[in-house]
Amino acid sequence: MSVQVRLAKNSGFCFGVKRAINLALDAAEKHDKIVTLGSIIHNPQMVHKLEKLGIYSVEDVKKIKNQATIIRSHGIPKDIFDYLKSLNIDIIDATCPYVSKTQEYGKKLSEEGYPIVIMGDKDHPEVIALKSYLKAEPIIVKNADELEYRKFNKVALLSQTTKNIEEFKKIMLKLLDMSQEVRVINTICNATDVRQKSTKELAEESDIMIVIGGKNSSNTKMLAKISAKIIETFHIEEASEIQKEWFIGKKKIGITAGASTPDWIIVEVYNKIIEIVGDSSMFVESIEQIPV
């Protein structure tokens, strides 16, 4: 059998990331001085590309004076948003609409008196932003195991948009043992779920999986975790990290990529692998040509 290199369906940029980057590119044409508050996405290569266009990332909001400011897809805490508004600068809000929706749900449920459980990483910018819309401190857990028993009358459950639905269900079940009312809002982005399922399916049909995305990208790490449970998996950020030895004896090579991984990196990785495994019958220039 010849070597087969396939890309998982629904790999790469999601709707929210595409939108944020388009907003940033548009803004770069209109403004001389422009920054993003924090990296626009968790992908160093994309951040580098934006820098070439004059869009720099600023970590500390206090350093923003008179620059137009892009709010990245993860969103930012309410008080920082309010502070930016007080500066009378142009604000380009590229918060993912699904993330904004989660913030709205959190705000509403919190106002209705629900204690809020969030499935997410407590240090993730999306979760930090979501927290700021709540009236009381939420319970933040990465998984069902982390959720300690306590008694509620009612409780609401939300999720960081890039988390796993199966773990979400486990938390929901556990909450029903703790509370008479459990109000669950599935704020997991469908793109995340679909991407995870496609990754799992491809991993099941592969001898090796290459997961492409920022090493600090939460959703890419989740893809790597899902894949690693099934088959040997390497998580890389770019083509240069690929090692020939990985592919010795492998016949079915699978590739997947996180929501913040630009297409050109996926194409580079694909072509590099094709080069290594010696199959030069195909030459791929854009992601649309890669067989899924």
Task: Note the residues at the interface with a second copy (CB under 8 A).
Answer: 165, 168-169, 172-173, 176, 179-187
Q: How far is the CB of 176 from a second copy (least distance, A)?
A: 6
Dig out the tokens for 64 from the structure.
């923003």
* Residue among 136 and 173 whose Cβ is closer to a second copy: 173
* Residue among 111 and 232 whose Cβ is closer to a second copy: 111
Q: How far is the CB of 98 from a second copy (least distance, A)?
A: 11
Q: Residues 27, 6: contact at Cβ < 8 Å?
A: no
Host H or E run for residue 101? helix 97-111
123 φ, ψ (degrees, to nearest 5): -95, 0
Nearest to 217 by CA among 40, 78, 75: 40
Nearest to 195 by CA among 145, 159, 161: 161
Q: Residues 218, 124: contact at Cβ < 8 Å?
A: yes
Q: How far is the CB of 203 from a second copy (least distance, A)?
A: 22
Place of tokens 């090796």: 208
Q: How far is the CB of 83 from a second copy (least distance, A)?
A: 32
Q: Work out the number of other CB atoms within 10 angstroms of the CB of residue 54.
A: 12
* Residue among 33 and 183 whose Cβ is closer to a second copy: 183
How far does Cα 219 stand from its chain's mean position?
Answer: 4
* Residue among 152 and 246 whose Cβ is closer to a second copy: 152
Q: Work out the number of other CB atoms within 10 angstroms of the CB of residue 226.
A: 21
* Residue among 51 and 145 whose Cβ is closer to a second copy: 145
Q: Which residues are catalytic?
A: 126
Q: How far is the CB of 165 from a second copy (least distance, A)?
A: 8
Q: Which residues of 174-183 are buried (b: 16+ CB within 10 A; e: fewer)?
A: bbeeebeebb
Q: How far is the CB of 236 from a second copy (least distance, A)?
A: 33
The SS3 call for residue 42 is coil
Dihedral in degrees, nearest 10, Cα atoms 57, 142, 259, 74? -40
Dig out the tokens for 208 from the structure.
């090796």
* Residue among 102 and 260 whose Cβ is closer to a second copy: 102
Dig out the tokens for 175 from the structure.
């909450």
